[in-house]
């Protein structure tokens, strides 16, 4: 990024308009604009000519004051929801398709005899309005003949006339039916014959990972690992069927309370890996925070794209915010393709260095430099869970031990390690000479060394807590000392 | 074949491949706008896709009147004008006889697009276009940014007051609202095929 040389800089203004500034440059420019009237005027002139500013302002004023008689149900989504309260810290994108539950019930449900029921949809008594997403409405229902509670996902009415959206719905049903896995939300039934297509799923009392993150911010490392392990397993099952999910994000990850079961859902964007059709749909569904760079560019994607999104989810769980943020969707897309995320430890010092390294490998821009497969990630995560639970019994998987966190840090650490290993190697050699001139055969150095050997090469008392990365350094140091010995033999 | 593919292929008789691509792009950009416009004219939801298709069909048929000069840009400009005229005709017709939803009737009525629409109708068309573009663009921005844009540009309140209320810096409001304005303009241009975009746009 080019530094700001002069405070008044036309290139910078144009780049801010195109969402091409780093977060830091943006802050600097905002501060400058607060004081500099000339730059403000220049920026506004770059955005649009004065006539257009006035025209757009007038049109939108007329629109909301009812100057133009439009159909009563046009329900403008332009006016911000009042009252204006403080800025939402992490910000939300309004998805623009809000529908009143009462309108939906009146317009689309059949009346029911049952008093508990809001209405009927096919053979389902609808009992409750659960929620609403960008593509549809989720309802809680009861199927009499099967005597079970179900969740019904109904396509949003404004999309029902859009061919692409209907296709998306059909694809979701087809894709999900192909994957039977405990970490994938199953689909029981599909109906696309009616005015509004809908999917029937088992009713599970759960919340989305997004809800949990909104409520709690970042999560403890063990929770992060457990959740991501299950997401990775579900995702691996989809990949085994030749499907790419393409929309892995916290809102599509459901957490069952108590049972600690995690389910991946919403295969609406899923594609067969070898499906060449419609790869470039310019359609951005909801937030692009978790998209991979190849998706953001509109390139063909494969399973490695899901790996990147998984990395973004891990990042969000560890720090409470997605790795790439900006004011506009375009800005986010640009950051996804061009910027390096901030190291997680800057945002949450509790994140272990080795975990930062794992996530950064997932977030590599070049798909080829990520892991081999999500299957492999699941295995790694499984070993990481064991390590975090019992650091003195289970070592981190080798592949994680070999990852180094940040490039700058890497060079420094290597150099330090080499120097230290030489010193320690010499010291150790001297010690060995002094202490054990003749190693006693068949005799332990101390009484509990046998039990120690069985479980772990490291003495538990000397074990450094897992979260400061020192044990990795020590392990590597050990290897380097060993190889030094090999060479000097 | 899906209805979208049908609509897009209506035009394969075009002589130039470039024009064919221009038509496809146009349908992609225009269909969303048409759907909303038709809905806002008070057409019941279940008829919206049909009416939209009728209008696109009319536009497609009018292409017979196009004299191909091999220039995709002039085709695209011409297409925008024809579409605007067809849509304006549709809007004034809907006003006169609310409720009467026609199939091939509608096509016949919309067919004659030679007349120059009057000033008022053009204004109304532009109104619809800007409202649509603003609605599309809104969801690309953070809610706070949109509030800042709305309060200062539409409600014409002072930037400093709004900054205080939203707890953001005045500078960030100038940035947000300029970005939003630039996006709305660009969105409108996608449909209008404005041939003189801001030279600073990449």
String of DSSP letters for chain B: --HHHHHHHTTTT-S-HHHHHHHHHHHHHHHHHHHHHHHHTT--GGGHHHHHHHHHHHHHHHGGG----S-HHHHHHHHHHHHHHHHHHHHHHHHHTTT---SHHHHHHHH---SPPPHHHHHHHHHHHHHHHHHHHHTTBBHHHHHHHIIIIIS---HHHHHHHHTS-HHHHHHHHHHHHHHHHHHHHHHHT-SS--TT--
Among A24-28, A299-303, A480-484, where is mean pLDDT lowest?
A: A480-484
What's the pLDDT at A171?
73
**Fold of the domain built from segment(s) B121-192:** Arc Repressor Mutant, subunit A (1.10.10)
Regarding predicted confidence, which is higher, A307 or A176? A307
Mark yes or no for CB contact B154/A48 under 8 Å: no
* CB contact burial B117-136 (16+ within 10 A = b; e otherwise): beeebeebbebbbbbbbbbb
Residue A161 in this model has a pLDDT that exceeds 80: no
Asked if residue A32 is part of any domain, the answer here is: yes
Same structural domain, A275 and A398: yes
Lowest mean pLDDT among A109-123, A217-231, A309-323, B57-71: B57-71
* Option in A43, A48, A164 nearest B185 (CB): A48
Helix ranges (H only) for A36-162 are 37-47, 50-65, 101-108
Residue with tokens 């409520």: A215
Q: Are residues A213 and A362 in the same domain?
A: yes
Residue of A nearest to B154 (CA): A57
Q: What percent of chain A has pLDDT over 90?
A: 28
Q: How many CB atoms lie within 10 A of CB B35?
A: 19
DSSP letter for A184, please: B
pLDDT of residue A103: 66
Within 8 A by CB and 6+ apart from A71, the residues are: B39, B40, B41, B42
Determine whether A141 is exposed, middle or buried from the number of CB atoms within 10 Å of its CB (0-12, 13-18, 19+): buried
Is the Cβ of B33 closer than 8 Å to some Cβ of chain A? no
How far is the C-alpha of A203 from the C-alpha of A198, rounded, in Å?
Answer: 15
Indicate whether A321 belongs to any domain: yes
In this predicted structure, the answer to whether residue A202 has a pLDDT above a threshold of 80 is yes
A256 belongs to the catalytic site: yes
Which of B138, B154, B185 is closest, CB to CB, to A94?
Answer: B138
Measured between alpha carbons, how far is B124 from B127 in angstroms, rounded to an integer?
5
Q: What residues of B are in contact with residue A18 (Cβ under 8 Å)?
A: 202
Q: Is residue A19 part of a domain?
A: yes
Q: Does residue A285 share a domain with residue A368?
A: yes
**Which residue has 């008093």 as its token pair?**
A115
Average pLDDT over residues A168-185: 81
Residue A117 distance to chain B (closest CA, Å): 25
The top-scoring range by mean pLDDT among A272-276, A426-430, A457-461, A476-480 is A426-430
CB atoms within 10 A of CB B103: 11
Domain that holds residue A176: 101-202
For position A5, what pLDDT does the model report? 53
My answer on whether A289 and A397 are in the same domain is yes
Q: What CA–CA distance (Å, rounded) separates A474 from A194? A: 64
Per the model's pLDDT, the better-predicted residue between A296 and A360 turns out to be A360
Cβ atoms within 10 Å, residue B28: 13
Phi, then psi, of B199 in degrees rounded to 5: -60, -20
Which residues 107-146 of chain B have a CB within 8 Å of chain A?
124, 126-127, 130-131, 134-135, 138-146
Q: Which residue of A33, A60, A62 is in closest CB contact with B174?
A: A33
* Tally of CB atoms within 10 A around B2: 11
Residue A60 pLDDT > 50:
yes
One domain for residues A128 and A144: yes
Query: Is residue A79 scored above 50 in pLDDT?
Result: yes
With an 8 Å Cβ cutoff, are A30 and B146 in contact?
no
Contact criterion met (CB below 8 Å) for A291 and A334: no
- A vs B: CB pairs below 8 A: 168
Chain A residues whose CB is inside 8 A of the B178 CB are 17, 43-44, 46-48
The pLDDT score that the predictor gives to residue A310 is 96
Tell me which of A8, A46, A56, A156 to substitute to probe the interface with B (most B C-beta atoms closer than 10 Å): A56
pLDDT at A417: 54
Do both A197 and A244 map to the same domain?
Answer: no
Q: What is the mean pLDDT of residues A456-467?
A: 35
Least Cα distance to A246 among A225, A270, A224 occurs for A270
pLDDT over 80 at A434, yes or no: no
Higher pLDDT: A346 or A97? It is: A346
Residues A279 and A397 in one domain: yes
Alpha-carbon distances of A211 from A62, A207, A208, A229, A289, rounded to whole Å: 37, 6, 5, 19, 16
| Spatial separation of the C-alpha atoms in residues B50 and B25, rounded to whole Å | 20
Q: Which of A381, A377, A379, A386 is CA-nearest to residue A456?
A: A386
Residues A172 and A109 in one domain: yes
- Using alpha carbons, list the distances in angstroms from residue A441 to A445, A453, A485: 10, 17, 21
Q: Which of A155-164, A191-200, A457-466 has the lowest mean pLDDT?
A: A457-466
pLDDT tops 90 at residue A42? yes
Dump pLDDT digits (tens) for A307-347.
Answer: 999 999 999 999 999 999 888 877 888 889 888 998 999 89
pLDDT of A437 strictly over 80:
no
Q: Does residue A95 sit within a domain?
A: no
Q: What is the mean pLDDT of chain A?
A: 74
Most distant CA atoms of chain B, gap in Å: 59
Please identify every stretch of chain B with a pLDDT value under 70, giving residue numbers as ranges.
1-17, 64, 70, 72, 93-117, 193-202
Contact A57 B153 (CB under 8 A): yes
- Identify whether residues A190 and A219 lie together within a single domain: no
Banded model confidence at residue A426, pLDDT cuts 50, 70, 90: low
Which residues of chain B are within 8 Å of residue A84 when distances are taken between CB atoms? 147, 151, 165-166
Same domain for A374 and A299, yes or no, is: yes
| pLDDT on residue A421 | 58
Residue A370 is predicted with a pLDDT of: 94
* pLDDT recorded at residue A280: 38
* Max avg pLDDT among A250-259, A390-399, B103-112, B172-181: B172-181
Whether A91 is in a domain gets the answer: no
Q: How confident is the model at residue A429 (pLDDT cuts 50, 70, 90)?
A: low
- The answer to whether the CB atoms of A86 and B167 lie below 8 A apart is yes
Stretch (H or E) spanning A224: helix A221-240
**A212 and A184 share one domain:** no
Range with lowest mean pLDDT among A45-54, A157-166, B3-12, B161-170:
B3-12
Give the closest residue to A244 by CA, choosing from A202, A201, A301, A191.
A301
**Residue A384, domain member (yes or no):** yes
Which sequence spans correspond to the domains of chain B?
Answer: 3-115, 121-192
Chain A from 251 to 290: CB within 8 A of any B CB:
none
Q: Give the model's pLDDT for residue B184.
A: 93
Highest mean pLDDT: which of A18-27, A272-281, B158-167? B158-167
Q: Structural domain tally of chain A?
A: 4
Residue A364 sits in the same domain as residue A397: yes
Give me the pLDDT at residue B109, please. Answer: 57
* A87 has pLDDT over 70: no
Nearest to A47 among B143, B150, B178 (CB): B178
Nearest to A139 by CA among A117, A160, A170, A111: A117
- CA A393/CA A463 separation, integer angstroms: 10
Given CB atoms, is A329 within the 8 Å cutoff of chain B?
yes
What ipTM was predicted for this assembly? Answer: 0.80
Interface test with B, best of A31, A34, A72 (most B CBs within 10 A): A34
**CATH number assigned to the domain comprising residue A393:** 1.10.510.10
Tokens of A459: 């003495």
Out of B127, B144, B171, closest to residue A30 by CB = B171
Contact B35 A161 (CB under 8 A): yes
Q: Most confidently modeled of A120-134, A289-303, B35-49?
A: A289-303
pLDDT band, very low/low/confident/very high, at A355 (cuts 50, 70, 90): very high
DSSP letters for A146-172: TTEEEEEEEE-GGGTT-HHHHHHHHHH
CA distance B72 to chain A (A): 22
Least confident of A296-310, A342-356, A366-380, A457-471: A457-471
Name the phi and psi angles at A374, rounded to 5: -70, -30
Collapsed DSSP state (helix, strand, coil) of residue A481: helix
- Tell whether the torsion through CA atoms of A234, A236, A242 and A246 is positive or negative: positive
Nearest-CA residue of chain B relative to A79? B150
């Amino acid at each position: 990024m080019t530094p700001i040389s002069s405070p008044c800089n036309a290139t910078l203004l144009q780049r801010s308009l195109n969402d091409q500034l780093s977060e830091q440059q943006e802050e600097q420019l905002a501060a400058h604009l607060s004081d500099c009237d000339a730059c403000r005027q220049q920026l506004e002139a770059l955005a649009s000519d004065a006539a257009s500013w006035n025209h757009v302002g007038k049109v939108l004023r007329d629109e909301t004051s009812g100057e133009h008689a439009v159909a009563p149900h046009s329900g403008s989504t332009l006016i911000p929801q009042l009252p204006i309260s403080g800025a939402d810290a992490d910000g939300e994108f309004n998805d623009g398709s809000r529908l009143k539950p009462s309108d939906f019930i009146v317009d689309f449900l059949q009346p029911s005899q049952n008093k508990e029921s809001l209405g009927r949809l096919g053979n389902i008594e609808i009992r409750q309005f659960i929620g609403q997403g960008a593509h549809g409405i989720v309802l809680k229902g009861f199927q009499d003949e099967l005597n079970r509670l179900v969740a019904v996902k109904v396509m949003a009415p404004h999309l029902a006339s859009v061919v692409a959206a209907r296709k998306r719905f059909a694809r979701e049903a087809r894709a999900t039916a192909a994957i039977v896995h405990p970490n994938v939300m199953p689909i029981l039934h599909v109906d696309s014959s009616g005015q509004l297509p809908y999917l029937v799923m088992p009713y599970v009392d759960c919340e989305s990972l997004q809800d949990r993150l909104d409520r709690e911010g970042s999560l403890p490392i063990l929770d992060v690992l457990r959740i991501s392990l299950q997401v990775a397993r579900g995702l691996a099952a989809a990949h085994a069927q030749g499907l790419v999910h393409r929309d892995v994000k916290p809102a599509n990850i459901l957490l069952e309370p108590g049972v600690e079961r995690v389910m991946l859902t919403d295969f609406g964007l899923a594609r067969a890996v070898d499906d060449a059709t419609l790869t470039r749909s310019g359609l951005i569904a909801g937030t692009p925070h978790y998209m991979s760079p190849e998706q953001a560019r509109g390139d063909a994607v494969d399973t490695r794209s899901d790996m990147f999104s998984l990395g973004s989810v891990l990042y969000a769980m560890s720090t409470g915010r997605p790795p790439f943020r900006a004011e506009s969707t375009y800005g986010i897309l640009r950051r996804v393709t061009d910027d390096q995320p901030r190291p997680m430890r800057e945002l949450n010092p509790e994140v272990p260095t080795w975990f930062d390294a794992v996530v950064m490998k997932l977030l590599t821009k070049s798909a080829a430099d990520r892991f081999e497969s999500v299957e492999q990630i699941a295995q790694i995560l499984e070993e990481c869970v064991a390590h975090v639970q019992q650091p003195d019994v289970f070592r981190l998987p080798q592949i994680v031990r070999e990852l180094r966190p940040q490039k700058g840090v890497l060079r420094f650490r290597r150099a330090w390690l080499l120097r230290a290993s030489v010193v320690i190697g010499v010291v150790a050699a001297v010690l060995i000479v002094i202490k054990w001139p003749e190693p006693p055969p068949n005799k332990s150095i101390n009484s509990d060394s046998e039990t120690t050997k069985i479980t772990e090469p490291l003495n538990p008392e000397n074990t450094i807590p897992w979260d400061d990365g020192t044990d990795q350094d020590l392990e590597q140091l050990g290897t380097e000392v060993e190889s030094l010995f090999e060479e000097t033999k | 074949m899906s209805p979208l593919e049908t609509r897009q292929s209506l035009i394969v008789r075009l002589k130039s491949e470039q024009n064919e691509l221009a038509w496809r792009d146009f349908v992609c950009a225009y269909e969303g706008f048409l759907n909303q416009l038709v809905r806002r004219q008070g057409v019941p939801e279940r008829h919206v896709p049909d009416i939209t298709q009728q209008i696109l069909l009319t536009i497609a048929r009018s292409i017979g009147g196009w004299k191909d000069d091999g220039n995709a840009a002039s085709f695209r400009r011409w297409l925008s004008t024809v579409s605007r005229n067809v849509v304006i005709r549709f809007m004034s017709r809907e006003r006169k006889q609310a409720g009467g939803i026609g199939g091939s009737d509608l096509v016949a009525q919309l067919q004659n697009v030679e007349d120059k629409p009057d000033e008022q109708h053009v204004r109304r068309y532009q109104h619809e276009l800007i409202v649509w573009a603003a609605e599309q663009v809104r969801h690309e921005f953070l809610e706070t940014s949109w509030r800042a844009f709305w309060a200062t540009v539409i409600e014409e309140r002072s930037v400093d007051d709004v900054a205080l209320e939203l707890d953001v810096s005045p500078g960030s409001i100038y940035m947000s609202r300029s970005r939003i304005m630039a996006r709305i303009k660009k969105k409108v241009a996608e449909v209008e095929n404005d041939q003189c975009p801001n030279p600073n746009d990449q």
